[in-house]
Amino acid sequence: MFDFRIITTWIHQTLTSLMPEALAVFLECVAVGVCIVLLYALLAIILIYMERKVCAFFQCRLGPMRVGKWGLLQVPCDVIKMLTKEIIDLHFSDRFLYHLAPFMVIIASFLTFACLPFGNGLQVLDFNVGVFFLLASSSIGVVGILLAGWSSHNKFSLIGAMRSGAQIISYELSCGLSILTMVVLMGTMQFSEIVESQADGWFLFKGHLPALIAFIVYLIAGNAETNRGPFDLPEAESELTAGYHTEYSGMGFGFFYLAEFLNLFIVASVAATIFLGGWMPLHIVGLDGFNACMDLIPSFLWFFGKAFFVVFLLMWIKWTFPRLRIDQILKLEWKYLVPIGMVNLILMVLIVVFNLHF
């Protein structure tokens, strides 16, 4: 399988031969930042279109069809409309925190997005504590949500923000326990090593029943982390108009909208990386010809294919189950998912200690 580090190393050596190393590193950082922003925007457009089409499929209709062939230009038109909308200043709001909140949400999303291993050698941040950094950076977003609700000086926004904060902070426990269960099996928190250690089998299949339980718990908690149905009570339109971003317009609202869809992709990508092998192709021990054919598929196609498969599962959950009440949401987490996650973690420890995994 092709290693993209060959290209990145060649670019670095070429730049350092033409200019001082500090300037070369600066230009590389700018180029990587631009690539991340472009990929972020492109994925947002794809996910919004996919959400509308999947929703239409489950509701037995067609979805957007008028603007462009198959409605492909509908989302770009909506983006242009969002960019040109007036940004409204509120009289009684805390203006500094009101304008800071969307940036905190989007920056947390960007930091987490940069940790993802998109392909063999295609990773911006690859720390030896990558899983810990990802969990830490993703938790910053809830601060932006709470600031948005409080600074808007709107009771609906404040109630939505408090609901969202309680929900996200609660379900972070289940997400963390599921990932910690797999860290016990993986023996490392570095994403590149996590993917490479799945060359002979994905952890979802190597970890026996605890890995499957952790995967299911992670999907449920990940859906709740992103405030998506059936856990979308913080944005309940029938009760809170739009929840914590009721008073936002223009790009302020756009940042929250983008972060929601990209957080969906991040949750799916982490699941694909930890449970489904990331960019690692499907290998079956003993079938060398089959494995060689799988290696011909580029690594980034494997990663995005698995990530969008998990995205579809999360959308399936959203458009299948009805919205839960806030007491049901918290009861599900504290009475069921957390105990299951803790028992599952102990089971995985026993499997690893007695070497019962594949």
pTM value > 0.75: yes
Closest CA to 223 of 163, 159, 175, 176: 175
What's the rounded Cα separation, in Å, for the pair 24 and 27? 5
Please, which residues have CB within 8 angstroms of residue 212's CB and are 6 or more apart in sequence? 204
Entry field: residues in the chain: 358
Q: At 241, is the pLDDT very low, low, confident or very high (cuts 50, 70, 90)?
A: low
How far is residue 72's CA from residue 70's CA, in Å, rounded to a whole number?
6
Q: Which of 147, 173, 141 is nearest to 162 (CA)?
A: 147
Tell me what pLDDT residue 125 has: 84
Average pLDDT over residues 161-167: 86
- Do residues 243 and 166 make contact, with C-beta atoms less than 8 angstroms apart? no
Say how far residue 269 (Cα) sits from the centre of its chain. 6
201 pLDDT tier (thresholds 50, 70, 90): confident
pLDDT tier at 163 (50, 70, 90 boundaries)? confident
